[in-house]
Amino acid sequence: MYNLGKTGVLLINQGTPDSPAVTDVRKYLREFLMDARVMDIPYLNRWLLVNLIIAPTRAPKSAKVYQELWTPQGSPLKVYGYEVAQQLQESLGHKYVVKLGMRYQSPSIPDVLAEFKQQGITKLVVIPLYPQYASATTGSALQQVAEVVGNWQVAPELHTVQNFLSHPKFLEAFAENGRRQLAQEEYDHVVFTYHGLPERQLHKNDHVANCHAANCTQAYNSLNQHCYRAQCYETSRLLAEQLGIAPADYTVAFQSRLGNAPWIKPYTEDVVEQLAKRGVKKVLAFAPSFIADCLETTVEVGREYRELFEEHGGETWHLVESLNSSPLWIECLHDLVLAAAGTAKIETEKHTYLGLTA
């Protein structure tokens, strides 16, 4: 079927194993960790480390966790991804064709782009589903898109979204889920936990994300606008303001560390332990680097950090539900598509969402 004149919308997320079997988890880990933007070390070292050490040892452990997480419809990350794509399609209407692509495993970005090409689509809006920009996530997804469409005979008109860390509807969608919890229970403290990154990856960017000149935990401005850490702190500040949480009542932390190199601090596991030891009893945790519940939220934050908190004397640890397919999240994506496609402009106090046009 031809869709000439329509705009393609490609939503990209990280990807997840095709099944929770050890073989599929190993395949996923290999593809993921062999990405030079994820494991940014020389090829031979990466190959040896991933294929001989990390994938074989981690796959059986991760497979067990995926088995705990798996639903009859599949991995939550993919199930929510398809739901969101379908709802965004309904919201945008017949002038758009919305598809989901995964950076690793399936549905792969090259396969989905081939479908767009086959359908005669020559204008594409690409939204990597990461609120904060990191080379390992957004950068990697956009690189793969560029590599694929760079070979098309008719190179498409390409519009990309680099981040949406302060988009009003993104913030409100998280705030709305948080408010639901806050209405039911009183908490002593709030933790905003983000996926971590090796520290060295932050500083590779220093000529555009100048961490040395800016205090990334305190301010977000033109000096550090591309720094992942600065973006995470900015999302936290804005969410806290929106929810009326005072600076002393929340902590920002970074989770999911892999390997021995230093990652962005503070580590969530340390913060959890310190809060419990300090006598904090009731914590509400947000995970605003994830737009859908997945292994890193449901299991790592929702169960493992709760167990750690309880082990050290904490009593209540609750995770705020992610955006999943909430109506405000669909509205946020709708606005991002229109802004990136050049049919609308969203301005907040600090940011203008027009998308980048290549």
Ligand X SMILES: C=CC1=C(C)c2cc3[nH]c(cc4nc(cc5[nH]c(cc1n2)c(C)c5CCC(=O)O)C(CCC(=O)O)=C4C)c(C)c3C=C
User: Contact between 137 and ligand X (CB under 6 A)?
Assistant: yes
Binding partner selected for residue 227 from ligand X, Fe ion, none, CB under the kind-specific 5 to 8 Å limit = Fe ion
Q: Interface with ligand X includes 198 (CB under 6 A)? A: yes
296 is in an annotated binding site: yes
Residue count at the site for ligand X (CB under 6 A)?
A: 22
Stretch that binds ligand X, among 87-95, 190-198, 274-282, 344-352 (CB under 6 A): 190-198
Return the residue of 227, 295, 320, 346 that touches Fe ion, per CB under 5 A: 227
Of residues 303 through 342, those in contact with ligand X by CB under 6 A are none
Q: Which is nearer to ligand X, 237 or 257 (CB)?
A: 257
**DSSP H stretches of helix in the chain:** 22-33, 43-48, 55-69, 76-92, 109-118, 140-149, 168-184, 199-203, 228-243, 268-277, 305-311, 327-340
- For ligand X, the binding residue among 234, 273, 296, 321 (CB under 6 A) is 296
Of 15 and 178, the one with the shorter C-beta distance to ligand X is 15
The answer to the question of residue 229 lying near ligand X (CB under 6 A) is: no
At 267, list the tokens.
Answer: 């580590």
Which of the choices Fe ion, ligand X, none does residue 197 contact, using the CB cut-off of 5 to 8 A by kind? ligand X
Cβ–Cβ < 8 Å for 9, 125: yes
Q: What values do phi and psi take at 164, rounded to 5? A: -145, 40
Shortest distance, position 214 Cβ to ligand X, whole Å: 20
Q: Cβ of 344: how many Cβ atoms within 10 Å?
A: 14
Residue 54 found at the interface with Fe ion (CB under 5 A): no
Per CB under 5 A, 291 contacts Fe ion = no
Please report the sign of the dihedral spanned by the C-alpha atoms of residue 57, residue 63, residue 64, residue 69.
Answer: positive
Give the CA angle between residues 9, 15, 20 to the nearest 5°.
Answer: 140
Q: Is 138 in the site for ligand X (CB under 6 A)?
A: no
Query: Smallest distance, Å, CB 185 to ligand X?
Result: 27
Choose the stretch contacting ligand X; rule: CB under 6 A; options: 112-120, 133-141, 269-277, 319-327. Answer: 133-141
How far apart are CB 195 and Fe ion at their closest, in Å? 5
Is there a contact between 292 and 81 (Cβ–Cβ < 8 Å)?
Answer: yes
The one segment of 95-103, 112-120, 215-223, 288-296 that binds ligand X by CB under 6 A: 288-296
202 binds ligand X (CB under 6 A): no
Task: Tell me the CA end-to-end span of the chain in Å, nearest whole number.
Answer: 27
CB 130 within 8 A of CB 162: no
Amino acid of residue 333: L
> Stretches 148-156, 158-166, 193-201, 239-247: which one binds ligand X (CB under 6 A)?
193-201
Angle at 31 between CA 43 and CA 300, to 5 degrees: 115
Closest CA to 125 of 355, 353, 323: 355
- When asked if residue 211 is in the footprint of Fe ion (CB under 5 A), the reply is yes
Which one of residues 290, 305, 317, 353 is an interface residue with ligand X (CB under 6 A)?
290
12 binds ligand X (CB under 6 A): no
By CB under 6 A, residue 160 contacts ligand X: no
Peptide bond into 60 cis (omega under 30): no
For residue 342, is it left (φ>0), alpha (ψ between -120 and 50) or beta?
A: left
The position carrying tokens 């039911």 is: 184
| Binding site listing for Fe(2+) | 195, 296
Give the footprint of ligand X on this chain (CB under 6 A). Answer: 14, 16, 29, 38, 58, 62, 75, 77, 130, 134, 136-137, 195, 197-198, 256, 258, 289-290, 294-296
